[in-house]
Amino acid sequence: MKRILLIEDEKNFARFMELELQRELFQVTVAADGQSALELALNESWDLILLDLMLPIMDGIEVCKRIREVKKMPIIMITARDSVTDKVSGLDSGADDYIAKPFAIEELFARIRVVFRRLEEQQEEQRTLLVSHDLSVDVEARIVMKNGAEIELTKREYGLLETLLKFANRVLSRDELLDKVWGYDAAVDKNVVDVYVRYLRNKIDSPGQPSMIETVRGIGYVIRK
Ligand code: CA
């Protein structure tokens, strides 16, 4: 069940929206002012925030900006005014979409569906395609492409590359790599990691360019993105 935080100070309208959203099988929490809304937004996890523009204590634009400083969840801004300025400042403050009162509830549902669909597409993309520079890895199909050409890797080479990309920007020690790529039963020498990094570099690096896999002396390896 998806959780929605509805931030709306007009009681009757909030109640109406709450019931309609529940009818669509969303789990709804209502906040009636900017300050308490912000606390709820930041301290709990939400699938979507419906945010009224005109609110007591802190207005919707400010609430939206503050949420965006820390969180990426979808925000749809709701307002009584249908002016271009409101729309622009709403979207500038980081809202994903904007809907003006009065609106048909079906229109709001349609917008919500679009926001969720977009999010699912993004997540799908992140799952299947790990990219670094000119290299892309489709983790579902286990296909590695470099500049449009497929690179054939062995199982271990592939595992090593996928692990380094999954933990991009984090230096992984030889022990961590052994554990993640070779597994617990690997009674192998730590040097095997160095050997495989060399194999992998030979396949994925471009001649004359610095290696995609950076050696961090005394610690391990990292791919930076
Ligand atoms: Ca209001």
Q: pLDDT by residue (tens digit) across 125-147?
A: 776 777 776 888 888 788 999 88
Shared domain check, 120 and 190: no
Q: What is the pLDDT of residue 184?
A: 64
Residue 120: CATH number of its domain: 3.40.50.2300
Shared domain check, 178 and 141: yes
Instruction: For residue 212, report the distance from its CA to the centre of ligand 1, in Å.
Output: 52
Domain boundary among 126, 145, 168: 126
Q: pLDDT by residue (tens digit) across 71-115?
A: 889 999 998 766 667 767 777 788 999 898 889 999 999 999 999
Range of the domain at 50: 3-126
Shared domain check, 140 and 183: yes
List, in order, residues 6 or more apart from 3 with CB less than 8 Å away: 26, 27, 28, 29, 44, 45, 46, 47, 48
Instruction: For residue 204, report the distance from its CA to the centre of ligand 1, in Å.
Output: 56
How many domains does the chain divide into?
A: 2
Instruction: For residue 51, report the distance from its CA to the centre of ligand 1, in Å.
Output: 9
Shared domain check, 10 and 117: yes
Shared domain check, 147 and 104: no
Helix axes 34-43, 60-70, angle to 10 degrees: 20
Shared domain check, 145 and 110: no
% of the chain exceeding 70 in pLDDT:
93
Alpha-carbon distance of 220 to 111, in angstroms, equals: 47
Strands, E assignment, 58-156 = 75-79, 97-100, 129-132, 135-138, 143-146, 149-151
Instruction: For residue 52, report the distance from its CA to the centre of ligand 1, in Å.
Output: 6
Range scoring the smallest mean pLDDT among 31-35, 122-126, 201-205, 220-224: 122-126
Shared domain check, 60 and 102: yes
Instruction: For residue 25, report the distance from its CA to the centre of ligand 1, in Å.
Output: 24
Shared domain check, 89 and 51: yes
Instruction: For residue 99, report the distance from its CA to the centre of ligand 1, in Å.
Output: 13
pTM for the whole structure:
0.61
User: β-strands 172-173, 135-138: how paired?
Assistant: unpaired
Shared domain check, 119 and 12: yes
Residue 56 has pLDDT above 70, yes or no: yes
Residue 189: CATH number of its domain: 1.10.10.10
Instruction: For residue 56, report the distance from its CA to the centre of ligand 1, in Å.
Output: 8
Instruction: For residue 24, report the distance from its CA to the centre of ligand 1, in Å.
Output: 23
Domain boundary among 87, 106, 126: 126
Domain boundary among 91, 126, 161: 126
Shared domain check, 137 and 52: no
Shared domain check, 141 and 104: no
CB atoms within 10 A of CB 148: 7
Shared domain check, 112 and 36: yes
Residue 115 tokens, joined = 């926001």
| Mean pLDDT of the chain, nearest integer | 89
